[in-house]
Amino acid sequence: MKWNRWRGGVHPAGRKEESSAQPIRRLPLPELLFIPLQQHVGEMAMPVVGVGQRVLKGQLLAAGQGNISAPLHAPTSGLVRALGEYSAPHPSGLPLPTLVLEVDGDDRWADLEVAADPFALAPEDVCRRVGEAGIVGLGGATFPSAVKLELSLRRGIDTLVINGGECEPYLTSDDLLMRERAAEVITGARLIRHAVQARQVLLGVEDNKPEALAALRLAALGTEVEVQSVPSRYPMGSDKQLVKWLTGREIPAGGRAADAGVLVHNVATAYSVARALVHGQPLVSRIVTLAGGAMAHPGNWEVPFGTLISRLIEGAGGYLQTPARLVMGGPMMGMQLPRADVPVVKGCSGVLALSAAEVAERAPEPCVRCANCVRGCPQGLMPLEMAAYIRNGDLKGAQALGLKDCIGCGACSYICPSNIPLTHYFNYARNELATMARQQRKLDATRRLAEQREARFAREQARLAARRAAAMAQTEKSQ
Amino acid sequence: MSETSVVHGPHAHAGPSLRRMMLEVILALLPATLYGFSQYGWPALFLFLTCVLCGLIIEALCLRLQKRPLRALGDGSALLSCWLLALSLPPWAPWWVALVGALLAIGLVKQLFGGLGQNLFNPAMAARVILLIAFPVEMTRWVQPLALGSLPAPGFLESLQITFGGAQTDAYSSATLLGHVKTELSRGTLLSDALADIYRPLQALLGERAGSMGESSSLLLALGGCFLLARRVITWQAPLGLTLGLALPALVMYLIDPLRYASPLYHLLSGGFMLTLWFIVTDPVTCPASAAGRLLFGLLCGVLIYLIRTYGSYPEAVAFALLLMNAATPLIDRYLRPRIYGRNRQGAALQPFNRRAP
């Protein structure tokens, strides 16, 4: 029995059996794919193909630009039909520049560059290839993986943590991936270890996934990957909590995992790294869980990016009843989708069609300071106090209490008996603070420019005065 | 989609609702309350009903004045506060004591401070203290338990006279254990003599002694408390702190001079300790939020109870100690916070990991 390494957390009902009963399935290719140019954190990708151009599966569609960005590849072969604005999978439903690909149905791969032995590559080469394959954090963060790898290689870390936590209820896409493709997950983990030259690899899987654990342990036999079972407690799949559990280290506040000597990658990311380096295949599809009380046939589907969610749900058997809410991601941290005709993107681990009973919306009541939120917070914060400060408009006060340390896991809102939308308060406050900081920077810049202008003006005046004085002196002397 | 507004996560919710938590506390109080009725007869029931009814009416009036929805009455908080107040009153007190008590608890201590969740002091305890100071005679007129239906117990009509008619009850009156011991000690009697014919721990456990309804049966109160602990409505820190805070000083003093200082068991089984232990010190609104804070809160509460009981001029200390600690709650909350992940106790970020360090 391992010492309880972090306090707090909640135990939401797993609801995972519904979608994990079936193997990973595929749907026939749709006629059109809608590929947003922004599927990752950072700069938007820049299209390198023209409208009317034929592309093969895996061919580069858009290149990453800037330091933090990721390229996009054709999820299947076809014809680039248009480049326009299309609704993005986001609560706002606002449009994003999107490539529309007309699918030809051949699904023919482009010529892929495959290394004979990826383990013989230099670490820098592995990082570069991961970046070229368009791989981003598939746990939901969608941060470009190559950036993390390069940073960790430069900074020097000793432990690689592979995150198989999947602590969100309903979602089983990582679970199924680990069960069915354990060997490639392990290969990916070893490749990442090679890329960052880590000393040890710890693969943590929540103990509610015994089949995945068994498959991984078998695949990891004789390798340097150490598969560990971790307790099922939300949010165990959060990198901070998993790192603490597996290594006993804490990521310093405001820092990155590398500041604790650790690099964290999701199992699906590791799998994609294996596909990219062993088979040369860039990231063009992912496994998506469809679940929720309103979904007729919950399960996992391997979906090419750009497939419309509405199309996916339809192909998977449609709804059982009109869903009260559509959610992309898990019920704890996922975001509400106002509409279903938006594309599957790299960060889409699941789509939930929740019934009214599951959403269980109740009117907020006054806080009675029961402190369930304090006990539930995995970060050691006091959500009730932060919310009280925010309600009174004292955002700085909330910040002093640790608003920036909040990981937004939603455990506090989940267990609040008064149904206070605590997470909502915190996100609001963070946005407001960010806006204030931006305005402050703008003000500072304006003031600096004005001051510089004044100084320049004064210098100019002084120079003129000096010249005039010199001229006067000259005239006097000559007279 | 059936809704147009966008809602932030989490899109799931669990745990008991506020109303349910309140109802569970009331359920935990029920055995001790029913037993109190059987011990003190009709007057106790009349007083209880007066207190609860007045409390609900006052809460409704306050909500009305603040233009808040009346359904907030259904959260059960006013009912619970008045229930606790009624349990701490002398069972044969006249009706107006209950009315004034309810007015103080709900009107003054709770609603005037901003309603549910905003009060600094525990409504029931604050009201009890004000009543005790304002009406010392009525608030210290205790009776020996007379089982309902037994011959010496007052009948229904006689009981109406006691509660509502101002009938004299001196014939039945008796001091509480704490009051008796305080009086005797102040007269210079040795503790053993003072306790000789009045203190029987088993009796205290069962509740066959003079006192308020809620003070009588320690056993039934503890039963209710354990139910709340099991249901996770209350946490263990504050009760543990309170027990230690009272029992440890009592034990030390008892070992030093058992002739002058009562045993820890005496302290734990007398007065309003049990009611406070399970139902007052665990009131979330007026106690600190962090686990360490709650432990400290209970501990200091216990020490204060011991000091006031032993050296103060009032025989009963629980309500006073609690109010003092209620006032200290914001301070405790300020200084005793959990450590934040990735930071040290002072709130500074942890040192980054260095590969070359040993």
List, for residues B39-66, the tens digit of each pLDDT value: 888 888 999 999 999 999 999 999 999 9
Q: Indicate whether B166 and B183 sit together in one domain.
A: no
pTM: 0.88
Instruction: Verify whether the Cβ–Cβ distance A332 to B6 is below 8 Å.
Output: no
Q: Indicate whether B107 and B151 sit together in one domain.
A: yes
Closest C-alpha to A345, from A381, A310, A309? A309
Is the bond preceding residue A231 a cis peptide, omega within 30 degrees? no
Task: Read off the amino acid at residue A112.
Answer: L
pLDDT of residue B207: 66
Q: Indicate whether B170 and B311 sit together in one domain.
A: no
Q: Indicate whether A268 and A130 sit together in one domain.
A: yes
Domain that holds residue B88: 17-174
Q: Indicate whether B121 and B193 sit together in one domain.
A: no
B6 touches A: beta carbon within 8 Å: yes
What is the C-alpha R_g of chain B?
A: 23
Q: Judge whether A330 lies within some domain.
A: no
Q: Judge whether B344 lies within some domain.
A: no
What does the block give as tokens for B326? 């209620």
Q: Indicate whether B183 and B329 sit together in one domain.
A: yes
| pLDDT above 90: residue B72 | no
What's the CATH code of the domain at A471?
1.10.1060
Chain position carrying tokens 């309350």? B33
Domain that holds residue A260: 112-286
Instruction: Verify whether the Cβ–Cβ distance A332 to B10 is below 8 Å.
Output: yes
Write out pLDDT tens, residues A240-256.
999 999 999 999 998 88
Write out pLDDT tens, residues A345-354.
999 999 999 9
Is the bond preceding residue A235 a cis peptide, omega within 30 degrees? yes
Q: Judge whether B357 lies within some domain.
A: no
Separation CA B126–CA B326 (nearest Å): 10
Rounded (10°) angle between helices A123-132 and A267-278: 100
Write out pLDDT tens, residues A378-405.
999 999 999 999 999 999 999 999 999 9
Q: Judge whether A340 lies within some domain.
A: no
Contact A180, A290 (CB under 8 A): no
Q: Indicate whether B305 and B193 sit together in one domain.
A: yes
Q: Indicate whether A270 and A387 sit together in one domain.
A: no
pLDDT of residue B219: 87
Q: Judge whether B3 lies within some domain.
A: no
| pLDDT above 80: residue A303 | yes
| pLDDT above 80: residue A372 | yes
pLDDT of residue A83: 94
Q: Judge whether A468 lies within some domain.
A: yes
Instruction: Verify whether the Cβ–Cβ distance B339 to A262 is below 8 Å.
Output: no
Percent of chain A with pLDDT over 90: 87
Contacts of B116 in chain A (CB under 8 A): 365-366, 368
| pLDDT above 70: residue B77 | yes
Mean pLDDT of all residues in chain B? 86
Write out pLDDT tens, residues A55-102.
999 999 999 998 899 999 999 999 999 999 999 888 888 899 999 999
Q: How confident is the model at residue B1 (pLDDT cuts 50, 70, 90)?
A: very low
This model of the complex carries an ipTM of 0.86
Instruction: Verify whether the Cβ–Cβ distance A414 to B14 is below 8 Å.
Output: yes
pLDDT of residue B3: 43
Q: How many domains does chain B have?
A: 2
Q: How many domains does chain A have?
A: 2
The region of weakest confidence among A120-124, B127-131, B145-149 is: B145-149
| pLDDT above 80: residue A229 | yes
Closest C-alpha to A368, from A436, A321, A438, A419? A419
B357 touches A: beta carbon within 8 Å: no
**Dihedral-angle region of residue B347 (phi above 0 means left; psi in -120 to 50 means alpha; beta otherwise):** left
- Chosen from B3, B11, B287 to mutate, greatest number of chain A CBs within 10 A: B11
Closest C-alpha to A165, from A216, A233, A223, A224? A233
> What average pLDDT does range B153-165 have in this prediction?
78
Q: Judge whether B99 lies within some domain.
A: yes
Q: Indicate whether B129 and B180 sit together in one domain.
A: no
Q: Judge whether A268 lies within some domain.
A: yes
Instruction: Verify whether the Cβ–Cβ distance B11 to A325 is below 8 Å.
Output: yes
Instruction: Write out A381-444 in H/E/C secondary structure.
Output: CCHHHHHHHHHCCCHHHHHHCCHHHCCCCCHHHHHCCCCCCHHHHHHHHHHHHHHHHHHHHHHH
Of B3, B10, B354, the CB nearest to A331: B10
Q: Quickly count helices (H) and strands (E) in chain A.
A: 15, 17
For residue B330, give the chain A residue with the closest CA. Answer: A385
Write out pLDDT tens, residues A11-56.
998 899 989 999 999 999 999 999 999 999 999 999 999 999 999 9
Q: How confident is the model at residue B205 (pLDDT cuts 50, 70, 90)?
A: low
- Torsion angle, CA of A347/A348/A354/A358, rounded to 10 degrees? -40
For residue A156, give the chain B residue with the closest CA. Answer: B355
Q: Indicate whether B139 and B184 sit together in one domain.
A: no
What's the CATH code of the domain at A257?
3.40.50.11540
